[in-house]
Structure 1
Amino acid sequence: MRICNRFSNSRRNQPTASCSMHRKPVKTNAGQRKSLSDSELPEDVEFYDELFRRDFALGQGSRNMAEEPDMSSLSLRAAEQSMEFPLIELLEIYRRQHGLECQSLKIRPQERDGNCFFRCLSDHFTGRPDNHLVFRKLVVEYLKSLYIDRHPVPLPEISVEEHVEYMLQPNTWATECEIYAAAHMFNLRIDILTGGRGSPYMWATTVPIDADPSSVLKCLRLLHRDRVHFDLIQEEW
């Protein structure tokens, strides 16, 4: 059975407190697109090395910065520090359950500027987060093509045309639609450790349509910190 837990982030005029994980109805249709091929790799992405290029083949804006949580706040900083040990413990449990050969899993923080999900994609594939605008355009344009092909992709809360135009703008938070599109585009299993704000952290998985989450897929691991920000989880050797 396909497991697909999705995430929805606030629109720019909504307070961050409304950000939460929830399920939305999915419109099912017949069309389907293939994942990105090696010939479609963008020329303007600076790949860190050939390993990232192979991984890729297989598989500033108007946002008000005050909308992001103020991590300089002493109370939030203390709360984050108090959660650090449980997070490390959850990562170790995950590593053992999935039989990963790496020594540990570590959290690679990303800048809190509304581009965090795309920074994670860039960092994962190219070894550096600053190609996030390229990955934003890739994912959003691919999402648009999924809608055109009547693929069973999650529907946005606004019209598809408005959503695509909105998501092409820098500093705009990714939604469940972009997360699913990235999973399908790069043939990834996206495992997200989400929680905080008074809720326990737990794992959720997004996979391409008709893919078995237990099958062998390239995996992107993310921390959805306090349900408002994505950091990359990397293997440490």
Structure 2
Amino acid sequence: MTHTFLSEEGCSSSTSLSSEKGDIDNDRMIATVLSEEYANLDGAVGRRLSTLPSIPHVPRINTFIPNLSDASLDHQRLIQRLHAYGLFEVKVSGDGNCQFRALSDQLYGSPEHHKYVRKEVAKQLKEFCSFYEGYVPMKYKQYRKKMAKSGEWGDHVTLQAAADKFSAKICLLTSFRDTCFIEIVPRGQDPRRELWLSFWSEVHYNSLYELQDLKLRYKPKKKHWLFF
């Protein structure tokens, strides 16, 4: 498949651009350090759920939000599945950034790098538009600009873009009635790691771990000194 590369659009303020770039660079430095510490968690949930059949992933945008009654039933179903498989959720804020916060927690051991994760996903959507535009039933430029904004809900297209960008297999334990397990694999490459999320369908994402990983996750962290 041919890659489509698009040129960067100009910014109205060079000062704001410089400040934003500095924030992203700082996030990248911290994320690199944290990624090394949390890499040994990879595969733990996968081993526990290795017998679950998965369904093929089809990227799609969010099309509906369930009503309160359906959402409550879905949430109870998800909780039951978490208990059945001995898993726990690291809960992230429901501020519209939950997908990116959950991915950040899986990648870097903290949900606080969600802005960097969204920035990288938005870059992937822009540079490789031919991969994703066929799944978006609106003007693609409008869609990717919307997804670059903080607070915009991520969807199954951004999950595919994240899998491609970070060379990761993203696995969802879901609240869907017909299946509880979805895999999103990166295009044209072998995944270098697994990221596990819980998905309260069309409502919220959290980061997913085995119960036995509690001690590892909450052990005293090293201090990382950054010099600017």
The answer, yes or no, to whether TM exceeds 0.5 is: yes
What secondary structure does 2:144 align onto? helix
Q: Are 1:206 and 2:201 matched, yes or no? A: no
Please say if 1:121 is aligned against 2:103. yes
| Matching of residue 180 in structure 1 with residue 175 in structure 2 | no
TM-score (norm 1): 0.59
The answer on whether the counterparts of 2:132 and 2:157 sit within 8 Å (CA) in structure 1 is no
Please give the secondary structure, in 2, of the residue aligned with 1:179.
helix
Give me the TM-score of the superposition, normalised by structure 2. 0.61
Change (3 A) 1:156 1:54: farther
Report if the CA contact (8 A) 1:153-1:177 is conserved.
no
CA deviation string 1:35-76 (max 9, x = no partner): xxxxxxx522163783514879xxxxxxxxxx9889xx8996
Letter in 2 for 1:207: V
User: Which residue of structure 2 aligns with residue 139 of structure 1?
Assistant: 121
- Higher helix proportion (structure 1 or 2): 2
- Classify the secondary structure of the residue corresponding to 1:158: coil
Amino acid at match of 1:190: I
Unaligned runs of 5+ in 1: 1-28, 34-41, 57-66, 93-103
Query: Does 2:174 match 1:194?
Result: yes
Structure 2 gap ranges (5+): 6-23, 40-63, 214-228
2:137 paired residue among 157, 168, 176: 157
The alignment partner of 1:232 has SS state of strand
- The answer on whether the counterparts of 2:133 and 2:140 sit within 8 Å (CA) in structure 1 is no
Deviation at 1:105, TM superposition (A): 3.4
Instruction: Report whether the alignment pairs 1:110 with 2:82.
Output: no
The whole-number CA distance in structure 2 between the counterparts of 1:78 and 1:233 is 20
CA distance in 2, matches of 1:75, 1:152: 30
Count of aligned pairs: 169
Instruction: State whether residues 153 and 180 of structure 1, in contact with CA within 8 Å, keep that contact through their aligned partners in structure 2.
Output: no
Q: Distance in 1 between matches of 2:70 and 2:132?
A: 42
Pick the structure with more strand per residue.
1
Q: Give the whole-Å Cα distance in 1 for the aligned partners of 2:103 and 2:31.
A: 13
Instruction: Report % sequence identity.
Output: 23
What is the root-mean-square deviation in Å for CA atoms of aligned residues? 3.4
